[in-house]
Structure 1
Amino acid sequence: MLAANYQKYQQNSVLTASPQELTLMLYNGAIKSCNQGIEAIEEGKIEKAHQYITKTQDIILELKCTLDDKYPISKNFEELYDYIMMLLVDANITKNGERLLEAKAFITDFRDLWKEAMKASKSS
């Protein structure tokens, strides 16, 4: 019962979130998946690591799809997302936790920057 209520809460959160909040949720989801992938690698759970890393890749691809190319900075973001994807692919092939940590650091920086931008837009 509790799990069903939590799932319903999560679904409602996504359905009622603003585009800015959805982007933040994606960043948080990518970080969570990276952490789970790192843990799976450390525990030698190769299939689980693959699942978490591909989930992170899916999220990064979704973030990349949301870029609006009418803004010049979008090209920079696209290149950085491509670099993160390269790190994730390498981490998945080699099951290298260091590469996954590096990808997570970039994603965390993006998330933190996004949070600051959200704060600044609310205060103006």
Structure 2
Amino acid sequence: MNRLKLTLIRGLPGSGKSTLAKTLNAVHLEADMYFINKQGEYQFDPKELKKAHLWCQNQCKYYLSEGQNVVIANTFVKHWEMQAYRKLAKLFNAQFSIKVCTGNFQNSHNVDLLLINKMKKNWQP
């Protein structure tokens, strides 16, 4: 039996995280998916960000518990933001890996350049 895999893809908005995630053989999750309404429209609400990340972690836990590989594509600017996923990998004895995207493409959620620059300044390699 193959060992489960949990892959984190981190990078700034527009770095190619979602594009890379879609190429991997795994359930693709992002906190941004929480903000897609029933009509398929993206409606970001910064007040809901904590809930979005909890949703993403819970979805990850569910799919791992179902024996499916998971890839999470979030910015993960700070190391602590990946900690919950490290714990989930350990809990399910999943192979854990982190990929970093550094491309420079149009970001799909029109994140403000000032915010991107702030993330760049706070980035922990």
Fold agreement, TM-score > 0.5: no
Larger Rg: 1
Which protein has greater RCO, CA pairs closer than 8 Å, 6+ apart? Answer: 2
* Structure ranking higher in helix proportion: 1
TM-score, normalisation: structure 2:
0.33
* Structure ranking higher in strand proportion: 2
TM-score, normalisation: structure 1:
0.33
